[in-house]
Amino acid sequence: MATKSFVLKVWRQDGPDSPGTVEDLTEYAKDVNEHASFLEMLDLINERLMADGKRPIEFDSDCREGICGQCGCVVNGQAHGSQRGTTVCQLHMRSFEDGQTIVVEPFRATAFPVIKDLVVDRSAFDKIQQAGGYVSVPTGPKPDANSFKIGKEVSDRAFDAAACIGCGACVAACPNASASLFTGAKITQFALMPQGAPERKRRVSRMVETMDDLGFGHCSNIGECEAACPKEISLESIAIMKREYLKAMLAGS
């Protein structure tokens, strides 16, 4: 079994109002299986910390398959680490050098307050989603399978936007802490499809205004969000959101 050891520094913060500090956990980061995922490495560190009677590192995770969007932290200054298109739960220790320094911090944004260590409150995303990120389905008989004709190119673009897992890496990576990539993806997946047409104007105006109210910054087209996104959501989503919003405003929605 090939193992690696790391110089590990982790952000520790007891609660939302505590100051927080970087703790050197190098002594716990020795002989880590190089095929362990990043979160499995944190599990191992936690077992060792608890064996020493110390508080384990708090971090979020659920599926550990890059699907749910629950995990997320900043690894060496990059949201989800440096491997493109990869969540931190799918990042493996073989991609790090033996002896490498690894600094782990929470996602930082005013709208994502730190709860404890690497855990942040991302409920602001839920509020944006609740403001309009859905389609209403009338009751009645189900529509025939082919009653909506949708071209492959359009359905592919809508599907790409729908791949957003809402992890918040886009906000953490953006110098303005903008949620435009997330909100744009959630608007785009419906704006391109006929099923999203009835609530189109109301959806974009409510979601964009909720995003602004929650303390996220504005998009200034830097593009860090696209580079950090583990699902490689395109900046096109932001362009579509802006166009949809302008149309809604001109229509008085």
* Contacting positions for ligand FES (CB under 6 A): 61-64, 66-71, 87, 89, 165
Minimum CB separation of residue 71 from ligand FES in Å reads 3
Joined tokens for residue 26 = 């190098």
For ligand FES, the closer of residues 80 and 203 by Cβ is 80
Type of residue numbered 175:
P
For ligand FES, the closer of residues 184 and 230 by Cβ is 230
Minimum CB separation of residue 54 from ligand FES in Å reads 24
Minimum CB separation of residue 122 from ligand FES in Å reads 13
For ligand FES, the closer of residues 59 and 245 by Cβ is 59
Minimum CB separation of residue 65 from ligand FES in Å reads 6
Residue among 119, 63, 123, 115 nearest 87 (CA):
63
Minimum CB separation of residue 64 from ligand FES in Å reads 5
For ligand FES, the closer of residues 106 and 217 by Cβ is 106
Q: Judge whether 224 and 173 are in contact, CB under 8 Å.
A: yes
- CA-CA distance, 174 to 134, in Å (whole number)? 26
Residue 119 DSSP SS3: strand
Burial of 115 (0-12, 13-18, 19+ CB in 10 A): middle
Neighbours of 48 (CB within 10 A): 16
Residue among 30, 33, 28 nearest 52 (CA):
28
Distances from the Cα of 38 to the Cαs of 23, 59, 119, in angstroms? 18, 11, 15
Burial of 1 (0-12, 13-18, 19+ CB in 10 A): exposed
Minimum CB separation of residue 199 from ligand FES in Å reads 28
For ligand FES, the closer of residues 36 and 222 by Cβ is 36
For ligand FES, the closer of residues 31 and 65 by Cβ is 65
